[in-house]
Amino acid sequence: MNAPSLQDGIDRAGSPVRLLWKPGSAPWSPPVVRPEYAGWATEQEAWRSTVVLSDLSFHMSDMFLEGTGALALLHAVSANSYRSFAIGQAKQFIPVAADGQLVTDGILLRTGEESFTLSGVPAAQNWVAHHATAGGYDVAFEIDPDRAYRPDDPRLFRLQVQGPLALDLVQRAFGAPLPETKFFHSTEVTLDGRRFRALRHGMAGQAGYEFIGDYTDHDAVLEALQRAGEPLGATSLGGLAYATNGIESGWIPTPTPAIYSDPALEDYRRSLSLFSFEGQNPLYGSFYSDDIDDFTTSPWELGYGRSLSFDHDFIGRDSLEAARESTSRTKVTLEFDAHDARAVLGADDEYALSYGRYRVENHTGLVGTAFYTARIAPVGTVLSLALVDRAVDEPGTEVEVVWGDHPGHGTPAEVELGLPRVRAVVRPSPYDAYARTAYRAARL
> What tens-digit pLDDT sequence spans the chain (444 residues)?
689 999 999 999 999 999 999 999 999 999 999 999 999 999 999 999 999 999 999 999 999 999 999 999 999 999 999 999 999 999 999 999 999 999 999 999 999 999 999 999 999 999 999 999 999 999 999 999 999 888 899 999 999 999 999 999 999 999 999 998 899 999 999 999 999 999 998 655 567 899 999 999 999 999 999 999 999 999 999 999 999 999 999 999 989 999 999 999 999 999 999 999 999 999 999 999 999 999 999 999 999 999 999 999 999 999 999 999 999 999 999 999 999 999 999 999 999 999 999 999 999 999 999 999 999 999 999 999 999 999 999 999 999 999 999 999 999 999 999 999 999 999 999 997 765 555 445 433
Torsion 261-267-282-242 (CA) sign: negative
Q: Domain end: 191, 222, 248, which one?
A: 248
Torsion angles phi and psi, residue 113, rounded to 5: -60, -35
Residue 410 resides in a domain:
yes
CATH of the domain at 236: 3.30.1360.120
Q: Does residue 355 share a domain with residue 237?
A: no
**Residue length, the chain?**
444
Query: How big is the chain by its Cα radius of gyration, in Å?
Result: 21
Instruction: Answer yes or no: is 297 within a domain.
Output: no
pLDDT at 179: 92
Domain check: are 44 and 166 in the same one?
yes
E strand spans, 192-316: 194-200, 208-214, 235-236
Query: Pairing mode, if any, of strands 52-55 and 235-236?
Result: parallel
CA–CA gap between residue 230 and residue 53 (Å, rounded):
11
- In the DSSP assignment, the letter for residue 436 is H
- 30 touches 137 (CB < 8 A): no
Q: Is residue 317 part of a domain?
A: no
Total domains in the fold of the chain: 2
Domain span including residue 192? 40-59+151-248
Euclidean distance between CA atoms 266 and 314, whole angstroms = 20
Q: Assess if residue 392 is contained within a domain.
A: yes
Is residue 207 within 8 Å of residue 162, measured between CB atoms?
Answer: yes
Interhelix angle 166-174/218-229, nearest 10 degrees = 120
Query: Of 248, 267, 285, which marks where a domain is finished?
Result: 248
CA distance 111 to 405: 44
Q: Among the three residues 230, 248, 266, which one is the final residue of a domain in this structure?
A: 248
Q: Is residue 343 part of a domain?
A: yes
